[in-house]
Chain A
Amino acid sequence: MKNTLIHLTSSPYSSIACKEGLDLALVLATFEQKVDLCLSDAALSLLTKHQQPEPEQGKNLHKLLDGLEFYDIENVFIESSSLAPDPATQWPGITSLDSAAWSELFSSYQQVFRF
């Protein structure tokens, strides 16, 4: 079994890349592969609470986050500089890493896929 990091960088609302990245993560986990997630750039908006997108804006992917633990996806990393100024507005299941740990993150997996 290999350990995999899925790095989401795309906005959940500008394309379906973010959704298809999450889909891959869920399938890997379903096949009992070790998978972690990390988010940066526009994908960080996935973490914002109380999203209510209309159908034409896309699916509410934020809702998937609470289900990750049922797939044994336990780690969702962001860089500490990406923490929201008000933590109450951000999904609480994230682990923040300082910039050194964030840089090392990408070399600690056998494979990294970006979406």
Chain B
Amino acid sequence: MQHTLLVTGSPYQSKACHSALCFARAALTAQPDSIKGVFFYEDAVLIGNDLAQPPRDEINLKQAWQTLASEFNLPLYLCIAAAVRRGVINETESKRYELNHHSLSSGFQLEGLGTFVELMNSTQKIIQFR
């Protein structure tokens, strides 16, 4: 069975991103193709902000997701509308809005909700972390 993870809880106000990470790690370790993709929506898109620097004695959640994604070739999607609204911007969007900076971390990609619909229809189960 293949899963899609929908993560909506803020990385700062909830444990959604932490719990989803633990679930994804356990599932992928048990069965490497058990998760087709992770879609971050609402405040969860803040996970992809490259400029955020957690204190050194705390978990670097963004890095933990990047490591997991690279180890298992797991796509990490951020909803583009939710991300741009919150200042998580890739190079293309930065040019579109005529900004001098971009802030999207490597390993994450901005995608529309249509990508979520495609994931929804091509996997057996979706699990929301909020």
Contact = CB atoms under 8 A, between A and B. Distances in A.
Interface string A86-115: 000000000000000000000000010111
B82 A31 contact: no
A20 interface: yes
Q: Is the interface of A mostly helix, strand, loop or mixed?
A: mixed
Contact of B128 (A28, A33, A114): A114
Contacts of A17: 8, 42
Contacts of B82: 20
Q: Is the interface of B mostly helix, strand, loop or mixed?
A: helix
Nearest to B4: A111
A8 to B, nearest CB: 13
B130 A23 contact: no
A69 to B, nearest CB: 21
Given A20-B41, A28-B117, A113 B6 contact: yes
Contact of A27 (B42, B114, B130): B114
A2 B130 contact: no
A24 B6 CA distance: 12
A20 B116 CA distance: 14
Given A17-B42, A24-B41, A111 B120 contact: yes
Given A111-B126, A113-B128, A27 B6 contact: no
B29 interface: no
B120 A2 contact: yes
Given A20-B41, A23-B113, A114 B130 contact: yes
Contact of B121 (A1, A27, A113, A114): A1
Of all A-B residue pairs in the complex, the 10 with the closest CB atoms, nearest first, are A27-B113, A31-B117, A20-B42, A111-B126, A113-B128, A24-B113, A17-B42, A114-B130, A28-B117, A33-B117
26 contacts: A1-B121, A2-B120, A2-B121, A16-B42, A17-B8, A20-B8, A20-B41, A20-B42, A20-B82, A23-B81, A23-B113, A24-B113, A24-B116, A27-B116, A28-B113, A31-B114, A31-B117, A33-B117, A33-B120, A33-B121, A111-B126, A113-B6, A113-B126, A113-B128, A114-B128, A114-B130
